[in-house]
Amino acid sequence: MIDCVVWWSAPLPNEQRFLRLLDETEHGRHVAYRQELDKQRFLTGRVLAKTLAAERLGRAVEAIRFDSACEDCGKPHGRPKVPGADLMLSISHSGDLIGVAATSGTPVGLDVETAKRRADNSLIEYALSPAEQQALHGLTDDERATAFFTYWTRKEAVMKATGKGLKIPLQSITFSAYDKPAELIVSSDSALDPARTRLKDLKARDGYRAAVALLTSEDINVTEVDREF
């Protein structure tokens, strides 16, 4: 059994007690955002991830430093890693909710989306496989949006777990029905093997859809925590 912890938080204020936890590169990314909410989301993701990493590694949160170099271009927008630590992290945010997932060495991907968005036909055709599109037939607009973003968060989660993101064609993967336990049924991309992929749809908070994916053949146990600072 592989354990995964997911922490959720509302956006934290841009206050010194949180800003002091950012390193020089992270400060640069923080100030580059123009919108206050975007600054808060970035800051919250880093504070959540560093606090969770500190707890799991038995270190002071001030001592946690991330290497976020992108595997492709080397720029500091990749998924955060603690050098030398057997810890995998994934950060996601949407609206007023920020989350971080952590495992002990198992690749993990987290995605959250606000449920207020609508799913138009062009987005459905772009993102869903034919079997998934068929599952949406006959649904009301609200039901279709719920179903679509259930599929969408699952897809984003598995792609984040691989580290390849949208390089994996969205229609190349098919999941179990939106109202059934999350499972990768078909993948025509070599980066994803259904036998070595485990998922779970998350509770998150009211008004959101979320999913977490781990690249493992073992069963997973996911714990969600609302974190307050």
**What pTM was estimated for this model as a whole?**
0.95
- d(CA 125, CA 78) in angstroms, rounded, equals 28
Q: How many domains in the chain?
A: 1
pLDDT in tens, the chain (229 residues): 999 999 999 999 999 999 999 999 999 999 999 999 999 999 999 999 999 999 999 999 999 999 887 776 777 777 899 999 999 999 999 999 999 999 999 999 999 999 888 888 888 999 999 999 999 999 998 899 999 999 999 999 999 999 887 778 899 999 999 999 999 999 998 889 999 999 999 999 999 999 999 999 999 999 999 999 8
Instruction: Choose among 143, 160, 204, 155: nearest CA to 182.
Output: 155
- d(CA 18, CA 20) in angstroms, rounded, equals 5
Contact (CB, 8 A) for 30 and 22? yes
- d(CA 125, CA 35) in angstroms, rounded, equals 31
Query: Which residue has tokens 């079997």?
Result: 131
Q: Which domain holds residue 22?
A: 2-226
Residue 24's contacts (CB-CB under 8 Å, 6 or more residues apart) are none
pLDDT one-digit tens code per residue, 162-194 = 988 777 889 999 999 999 999 999 999 888 999
CATH code of the domain covering residue 100: 3.90.470.20
- d(CA 60, CA 100) in angstroms, rounded, equals 18
- d(CA 42, CA 44) in angstroms, rounded, equals 5
